[in-house]
Structure 1
Amino acid sequence: MHRPKIVIVPDYGGAGKDHWLEHWRSNHPDAMRFAEHDPRDPTCKAWVRGIEDAVASAGPRTSLVAHGLGCLAVAHWAATTHRCIDAAMLISVPDVDATGRIPAQATGFLPVPRKALPFHTLMVAAETDGDYQHAIAHANDWDATLVLVGSISHETRPGTRHTWDEGLNLLWNLVDMQLVT
């Protein structure tokens, strides 16, 4: 049976040990790995290079799961790569038009590519994140399926692992769907 290969592209600042992305990776180490980028170089170019290297290393039948600013890095990667992936799950795409949503040291993310992404894309937005009109616009631009969930807990109490099982189920459904195509 084919084992899914999933490359994780975390939000700015990474995914600490209590973050749900780290929980997913640590419980599925044969399937999931982080796209690496130098935290001292938080530019879009560095993130795109990290995604390119991770996808090249993972090989065919790879999917991406990105969170926050990592979603924009995936859009930039898709606009420049010649590599193919099966699918991407983009979680909590930031509203870059809102003041202060991109840290000053994280450069090169604007303008955001507006072309359809060349792979099946599932976008997840939370109703509790406030105005998600930007998510609808990105989903339309990127030809993505948009799923609204009640909440995506971004905060965890120290020492408490947050699993966000609803998101993990969405990811496995996306990956399973690609296995039959």
Structure 2
Amino acid sequence: MNVGLVIVIAIILGAVAGGTIVVMIARATRDSDAALQAAAWELPAGVAELLESIEFPAIIVDTSIKVVAASPAAVQFGLVSQERLAVAELVALVEDLRRSPEPMTRELEIPRGPYGEATSSIEARASQFGVRYTLLLVADRTEFRRLEEVRRDFVANISHELKTPIGAISLLAEALTEAADDPDMVRHFADR
């Protein structure tokens, strides 16, 4: 056989083998990248089940602020609607968290329902959950705020109501002091 022909055949076989190896490496790299990316986009095992079992509002959103998982309390409270956050203040909190890696807590007044002017007082805490997710925990503080208002009103009312008897006792004490020399007047004021 001709040496030149053997060299050409060897070059062609080498090129085919090299091309096949390059294609196989490229596919393996692409497949492993796809697997890593798919794993990075999935919630860790058990997280959705955990959210289903807790009794307070908790929500996990992705980078597009789409609700990935939420507790039943979050849905009942009206924080989630059609895989979206239904409260603009919570969307703003998530967006602010994206600019800062530190967990954030905010006191918010949110509409109690779609109609009327009633509001609910909530404390919302946002924290990064992995690379792709944000965890929102919400506590309803409406009853606490209402009790604080009742306490404040009670203190204001009781202090106002006590001014009258305290003023009367003060005047009587002054009258007793003035009439200290007259025993009949002291008895008269003491009987009151």
> If the length of structure 1 is used for normalisation, what is the TM-score?
0.22
The structure richer in helix per residue is 2
Larger Rg: 2
